Amino acid sequence: MNDAPRIVLLPGDGIGPEIVAAARRLLEELGDYRFNEQLMGGCSIDEHGVALTEDVLAACRESDAVLLGAVGGPKWDTTDPDAPRPEQGLLGLRKGMGLYANLRPVRPSPALVSASPLRPEVIANTDLLVVRELTGGIYFGQSGRDGDTAHDTCEYSVDEVERIARAAFDAARHRAEGRGGDARVTSVDKANVLETSRLWREVVTQVGDANPDVQLEHLLVDNAAMQLVSRPSDFDTIVTENLFGDILSDESAMLTGSLGMLPSASLGADGAPGLFEPVHGSAPDIAGQGVANPLATFLSAAMMLRHGLGQADRAGRIEAAVDAVLGRGLRTPDLATAGESTVGTDEITDAVLVEIGQ
């Protein structure tokens, strides 16, 4: 019986098929995986009339991990509220797979520190992970209007905080496994003002007590926003609720300055498959030209190996190969500064494969 991990590939639209095909070549070089490629997004609307079919969702739920390219494009842009939209596929996957933790690492490649809006000495050695709660908090609480006032309610339960805290401690431990050193978690809240934050802090502290191998500190969100730009390299794993996480993960993403380099993961219950995808969109402006930067998808595949399949060694090999290729000066057009020569998707993929083979 073949017990190789089952990976569902959802290339999607625009540059999605180009970057996912490149990631598949990489994974095939690294080991034995069983791939199942499926339609999701605009391509699924064209074929089936919906962005995500029940069959594709079922295949994702039965897999060990899902790797997604990107969805959407002008072809499916519509103002008709009843017309199907590609993003409905993403929402359907998040809900149908029970994904409640979003992980966004920020680790600028040493060769690209000059792309950061921060000074090189501030951004150097930054290697952090933002873990954001995805399904609770003020975005999902009761909201409404009464005359000239409006309200949005923020609610969190012990269970919701506990599971995201556990996801963050596990992620911190997986990261430490790969690089050595201590695992550290910074929990971000507003416990001086908000009752939900006081519950958050209490529960995260209890989960911390149960994970004594991981160091835990608490930071108020206003302070965290400042520290992220003044000393980003001091952070390891940051865990926070939905609204704070929405803002801090975008702030962190900007630290690198390179959209084509950012991976992400969304995780569900223990043992359930996660969804791994680049942060960028389907880049319809460059689709089909062979110039898409596949590195964010490679780094998403590395997250899949580390956080989804328990293969931290192989994840580290991908990350080291990406750094090496950038260190040798190879650049896709989105990464190049004026005057630098550029390579396409195939050339940079070949170069990463050579590094991995060494």
Residues that bind ligand NAD (CB under 6 A): 15, 70-73, 90, 259-260, 277, 280-286, 292-293, 296, 334
Residues 224 and 273: their CA atoms lie apart, in Å, by 31
Residues 305 and 35: their CA atoms lie apart, in Å, by 14
**CA dist 50 → 42, 54, 86, 87, 153 (Å):** 8, 10, 8, 11, 32
For the CB of residue 71, give the shortest distance to ligand NAD in the complex, in Å. Answer: 4
Phi-psi region at 181: left, alpha or beta (left = phi > 0; alpha = psi -120 to 50): left
Of residues 286 and 352, the one with the C-beta less far from ligand NAD: 286
Q: Is 75 a catalytic residue?
A: no
Q: Is 190 a catalytic residue?
A: yes
**Among 222, 234, 285, 313, the one annotated catalytic:** 222
**Among 159, 250, 285, 313, the one annotated catalytic:** 250
Of residues 203 and 299, the one with the C-beta less far from ligand NAD: 299
Of residues 229 and 259, the one with the C-beta less far from ligand NAD: 259
Q: Is 156 a catalytic residue?
A: no
Residue nearest to ligand NAD (CB): 281
For the CB of residue 336, give the shortest distance to ligand NAD in the complex, in Å. Answer: 11
Of residues 73 and 137, the one with the C-beta less far from ligand NAD: 73
For the CB of residue 190, give the shortest distance to ligand NAD in the complex, in Å. Answer: 28
Spatial CB neighbours of 49, under 8 Å, sequence gap ≥ 6: 84
Of residues 290 and 329, the one with the C-beta less far from ligand NAD: 290
Q: Is 95 a catalytic residue?
A: no
For the CB of residue 214, give the shortest distance to ligand NAD in the complex, in Å. Answer: 30
For the CB of residue 304, give the shortest distance to ligand NAD in the complex, in Å. Answer: 15
Q: Is 159 a catalytic residue?
A: no
Of residues 100 and 298, the one with the C-beta less far from ligand NAD: 298
213 closest CA partner among 242, 240, 177, 243: 177
For the CB of residue 61, give the shortest distance to ligand NAD in the complex, in Å. Answer: 19
For the CB of residue 130, give the shortest distance to ligand NAD in the complex, in Å. Answer: 17
**Among 75, 127, 139, 334, the one annotated catalytic:** 139
113 closest CA partner among 338, 353, 335: 335
Of residues 260 and 308, the one with the C-beta less far from ligand NAD: 260
Catalytic positions are 139, 190, 222, 246, 250
